[in-house]
Amino acid sequence: VKQVCLDSSDPDAAKKEYNRLQGEVDLLKTLRHSNIVGFLGTSLYQHVVSIFMEYIPGGSIASILHRLKLFLECQINKDWVAFLHQNRVIHRDLKGNNVMLMPTGVIKLIDFGCARRLSCLNPTAPNSGELLKSIHGTPYWMAPEVINESGYGRKSDIWSVGCTVFEMATGKPPLAHMDKMAALRLTVISATYCLFLISSDQSVRPSADQLLKHSFIPKGHTSIKYWEAQKKKCCGTKVSV
């Protein structure tokens, strides 16, 4: 349950926050995918808005990395980012804390508070039509074009996916050794900390559909045996992806 307390002393602010939450709910209602958290309903009681979603008991990818201190080998050739982009939705806050794990090993994307549906209807032209300029997201995972407000589209999510893969491999996002402001500046200036899918130039950054065909992503790969081998190192729960 995601709960937000509306400011009863400021009707205008309360209305603005309620409309923002309603936008998040309207978006969640349209997104039905096995790797996206399921929406169940809402309630408003005594100025508290509650959004009810599918329960995901396994914790986030980030919490697992922090707790177990190990390389997290996940099947990343899922199409959930491509699904969002085909539906004109940009998540805008992709990171380890927003990728949750079911006990069965299925991953679920959560937190659509920053998400935005584009007016552009062409999924193959991610940077044509409507370009967003408002800054949303978390500094270490934000694409250069988001930081410098030059206009961005679907490919800002691709940068964040790359940072999340980096986080899964090392336990921390790129530039985590720096403070947030320094990391933001260096992200704009340099692409030294690139992965196979991160380029500071969004025009040459691959789309989600192109990533699914990349040789870096093994086809039909599972890591069940890997996680079973790690079973004794964690809290006794089978965790596989």
CATH code: domain of residue 197: 1.10.510.10
* 15 occurs within a structural domain: yes
CATH number of the domain that residue 38 is part of: 3.30.200.20
Which residues 6+ apart lie within 8 Å of 19 measured at CB? none
Catalytic, 93? Answer: yes
Higher pLDDT, 192 or 213: 213
pTM: 0.73
20 lies in some domain: yes
Q: Annotated catalytic residue: which of 12, 26, 93, 201?
A: 93
- Residue 226 falls within a domain, yes or no? no
Indicate if 135 and 206 belong to the same structural domain.
yes
67 & 143 share domain:
yes
Clarify whether residues 49 and 158 are in a common domain: no
Pair 196, 91 in one domain: yes
Task: Please check whether residues 28 and 107 belong to one and the same domain.
Answer: no
Considering the domain architecture, whether residues 120 and 36 belong to the same structural domain is answered as no
- Give the residue-averaged pLDDT of 23-35: 92
Q: Which of 164-178, 198-212, 221-235 has the lowest mean pLDDT?
A: 221-235
Last residue of a domain, one of 53, 76, 95: 53
The whole domain housing 142 covers 61-212
Residue 199 lies in a domain: yes
Q: Is residue 10 part of a domain?
A: yes
Could you report the per-residue pLDDT of 44-101, keeping only the tens digit for each? Answer: 998 999 999 999 998 898 888 887 765 555 554 457 888 999 999 999 999 999 999 8
Please determine, for residue 164, whether its predicted confidence score (pLDDT) is greater than 70.
yes
For residues 31-41, one letter each, b for 16 or more C-beta atoms within 10 angstroms of the residue's C-beta and e for the rest, the string is beeebbbebee
Write the burial class of residue 240 (CB in 10 Å: 0-12 exposed, 13-18 middle, 19+ buried).
buried
pLDDT at 77: 43
pLDDT at site 188:
65
Shared domain check, 113 and 73? yes
H helices within 77-203, ranges in order? 80-86, 144-147, 155-170, 180-189
Q: Which amino acid is at 199?
A: S
Q: Are residues 96 and 199 in the same domain?
A: yes
Find the mean pLDDT for residues 157-181. 87
Co-location of 65 and 125 in the same domain: yes
Domain membership flag for residue 239: no
pLDDT in tens, 87-115: 999 999 999 999 998 888 788 999 999 99
Answer yes or no: do 80 and 171 share one domain: yes
Tally of structural domains, the chain: 2
Based on the fold, state whether residues 18 and 91 are members of the same structural domain: no
Kindly state whether residues 167 and 102 are assigned to the same domain.
Answer: yes
Collect all residues with Cβ–Cβ distance below 8 Å to 60 and sequence separation of at least 6.
96, 97, 98, 99, 100, 101
